[in-house]
């Protein structure tokens, strides 16, 4: 990279790290995105009776999922461009009845959300974020563990001196998910409830209607003497979701084709639920955009969806020199190789994959190369070693061309994931090139 690009890359990385520092849950990723959208002149869809060329609009859903768009020159029935990423990340959720006391220690009982390696969550400073909704509808926001002076939380592990039996176990059996519970206090549950009442004004029963998430405590950090990497919780998939947002925010002028982003929830548990991509949110939002441009026929929505294209903005595995036996040799994503275009994901025999057609891959190659973006073509890993999926299959359902395209990560789904600044920056540039092509 030349001097100018290095400066741009550093500036972008700083912006992204600032976003991540706030966006530690999907709710916070959402509210921070809306804040940035509004600052850039985007308005809630309810403020528009009609939409015209160049209008900047967003539609949020349940405070977790958002779609934003800049209306382009071509009629929307001829298709739109979408960059879609997710903002939920693997974590530990509070159970509905989280509090229990065992031999003088009080715990928060948790339920795993998303694919984690359980042992990575032991002996780690943890923070708690979320919302408690009281019966009268009043919401109490919780954010504890990241402000200076805050306490953190921890899941304890066994000392090596007494771990002889434990070490004989297989990794999967080594720590039952049911034991992945967070130390809340030492003493009686009643004493803890008094502290909770004083700090948050809630009773034990209020936990029944709460969404509290246990996530790693701490802010994103630069890694390495060359500072080329960023360690952070939740790169997957805020690194791509933010790159899409940033590309839309920085788009100059009016695009030819309506440019849009989706930042969605629930990808890590199969895109289920009202805020996941299997819901009708996306279709409904497209219909809301069309009706404000004079379209009242359902067929217009179908036509728009079918003729649209999408970059499914999700991370992929970067080849780790220490784990070469899982690489799809020659087809693995390299660090600093730029975002990785994955024609397909899925399992061994492309099971569950949305295999992009060659014609669309060619279109993507062209606009990336024309804009001198650093990018690479890759598979997630060796066949028969595992696999994974993204939201692409749920968008492909509409008949549109979709391809997976995102930042390569080391230790994906770990409490702290690693991405190079260059790959973060090129991901942003790639999405911007798509909007501008």
# binding residues, Zn ion (CB under 5 A): 1
Helix then strand then coil, in percent of the chain rounded to 5, is: 35, 25, 40
Q: In whole angstroms, give the CA distance from residue 83 to residue 353.
A: 18
Q: Which stretch binds Zn ion (CB under 5 A): 91-99, 121-129, 207-215, 233-241?
A: 233-241
| Residue whose Cβ sits closest to Zn ion | 236
Q: In whole angstroms, give the CA distance from residue 338 to residue 239.
A: 13
Q: In whole angstroms, give the CA distance from residue 30 to residue 87.
A: 8
- Report whether 418 contacts 319 (CB < 8 A): no
Q: Rounded to the nearest whole angstrom, what is the least distance from the CB of residue 329 to Zn ion in the complex?
A: 23
- Report whether 58 contacts 69 (CB < 8 A): yes
Tell me which residue has tokens 């408690």. 132
Q: Rounded to the nearest whole angstrom, what is the least distance from the CB of residue 258 to Zn ion in the complex?
A: 28
Of residues 234 and 255, the one with the C-beta less far from Zn ion: 234
Q: Rounded to the nearest whole angstrom, what is the least distance from the CB of residue 271 to Zn ion in the complex?
A: 11
Of residues 236 and 327, the one with the C-beta less far from Zn ion: 236
Q: Which stretch binds Zn ion (CB under 5 A): 5-13, 132-140, 182-190, 229-237?
A: 229-237
- Measure the N-to-C terminal CA separation of the chain; round to a whole number of Å: 23
Q: Rounded to the nearest whole angstrom, what is the least distance from the CB of residue 236 to Zn ion in the complex?
A: 4
Of residues 206 and 236, the one with the C-beta less far from Zn ion: 236
Q: Rounded to the nearest whole angstrom, what is the least distance from the CB of residue 413 to Zn ion in the complex?
A: 6
- Report whether 424 contacts 239 (CB < 8 A): yes
For 4, the enclosing helix (H) or strand (E) is: helix 3-22
Q: In whole angstroms, give the CA distance from residue 47 to residue 286.
A: 16
Q: At what angle do helices 26-39 and 3-22 cross, to 10 degrees?
A: 120
Which residues, other chains included, contact 237 with Cβ-Cβ below 8 Å and sequence gap of 6+? Answer: 85, 86, 87, 89, 267, 313, 314, 315, 406
Of residues 72 and 406, the one with the C-beta less far from Zn ion: 406
What is the footprint of Zn ion within residues 112-151 (CB under 5 A)? none
DSSP 137: S
Of residues 55 and 417, the one with the C-beta less far from Zn ion: 417
Q: Rounded to the nearest whole angstrom, what is the least distance from the CB of residue 220 to Zn ion in the complex?
A: 17
What is the footprint of Zn ion within residues 411-430 (CB under 5 A)? none
Binding mask 234-273 for Zn ion (x = CB under 5 A): --x-------------------------------------
Q: Rounded to the nearest whole angstrom, what is the least distance from the CB of residue 314 to Zn ion in the complex?
A: 7
Of residues 203 and 320, the one with the C-beta less far from Zn ion: 320
- What is residue 161's three-state secondary structure? helix
Of residues 295 and 345, the one with the C-beta less far from Zn ion: 345
Of residues 320 and 436, the one with the C-beta less far from Zn ion: 320
Does the protein bind Zn ion through residue 327 (CB under 5 A)? no
Q: Rounded to the nearest whole angstrom, what is the least distance from the CB of residue 274 to Zn ion in the complex?
A: 20
Of residues 341 and 433, the one with the C-beta less far from Zn ion: 341
- Report whether 131 contacts 140 (CB < 8 A): yes
Chain centre distance of CA 230: 16
- Report whether 421 contacts 374 (CB < 8 A): no
Q: Rounded to the nearest whole angstrom, what is the least distance from the CB of residue 90 to Zn ion in the complex?
A: 7
Residues in contact with Zn ion by CB under 5 A are 236
């Amino acid at each position: 990279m030349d001097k100018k690009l290095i400066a741009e890359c550093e500036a972008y990385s700083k912006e992204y790290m600032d976003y991540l520092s706030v966006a530690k849950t999907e709710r916070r990723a959402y509210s921070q995105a809306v804040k940035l959208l509004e600052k850039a002149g985007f308005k809630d869809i309810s403020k528009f009776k009609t939409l015209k060329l160049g209008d900047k609009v967003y539609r949020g859903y349940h405070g977790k999922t958002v779609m934003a768009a800049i209306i382009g020159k071509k009629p929307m029935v001829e298709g739109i461009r979408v960059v879609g990423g997710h903002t939920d990340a693997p974590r530990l959720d509070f159970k509905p009845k989280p509090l229990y006391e065992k031999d003088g220690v009080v715990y928060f009982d948790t339920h795993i959300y998303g694919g984690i390696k359980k042992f990575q969550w032991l002996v780690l400073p943890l923070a708690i974020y979320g919302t408690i909704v009281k019966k009268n509808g009043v919401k109490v926001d919780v954010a504890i563990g990241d402000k200076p002076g805050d306490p953190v939380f921890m899941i304890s592990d066994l000392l090596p001196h007494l771990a002889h039996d434990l070490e004989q176990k297989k990794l999967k059996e080594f720590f039952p998910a049911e034991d992945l519970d967070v130390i809340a206090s030492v003493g009686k549950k009643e004493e803890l409830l008094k502290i909770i009442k004083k700090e948050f004004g809630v009773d034990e029963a209020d936990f029944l209607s709460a969404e509290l998430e246990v996530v790693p405590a701490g802010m994103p950090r630069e890694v390495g003497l060359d500072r080329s990497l960023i360690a952070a919780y939740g790169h997957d998939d805020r690194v791509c979701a933010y790159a899409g947002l940033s590309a839309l925010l920085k788009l100059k002028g009016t695009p030819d084709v309506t440019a849009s982003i989706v930042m969605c929830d629930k990808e890590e548990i199969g895109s289920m639920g009202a805020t996941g991509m299997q819901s009708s949110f996306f279709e409904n939002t497209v219909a809301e955009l069309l009706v404000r441009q004079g379209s009242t026929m359902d067929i217009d929505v179908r036509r728009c969806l079918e003729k649209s294209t999408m970059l499914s903005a999700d991370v992929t595995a970067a080849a780790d020199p220490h784990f070469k036996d899982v690489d799809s040799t020659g087809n693995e994503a390299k660090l600093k190789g730029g975002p990785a275009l994955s024609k397909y994901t899925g399992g061994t025999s492309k099971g569950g994959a949305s295999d992009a057609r060659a014609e669309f891959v060619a279109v993507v190659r062209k606009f990336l190369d024309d804009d001198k973006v650093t990018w690479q073509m890759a598979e997630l890993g060796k066949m028969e070693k595992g696999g994974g999926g993204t939201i692409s299959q749920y968008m492909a359902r509409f008949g549109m061309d979709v391809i997976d395209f995102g930042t390569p990560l080391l230790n994906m789904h770990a409490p702290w994931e690693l991405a190079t600044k260059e790959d973060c920056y090129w991901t942003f540039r790639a999405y911007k090139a798509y909007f501008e092509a």
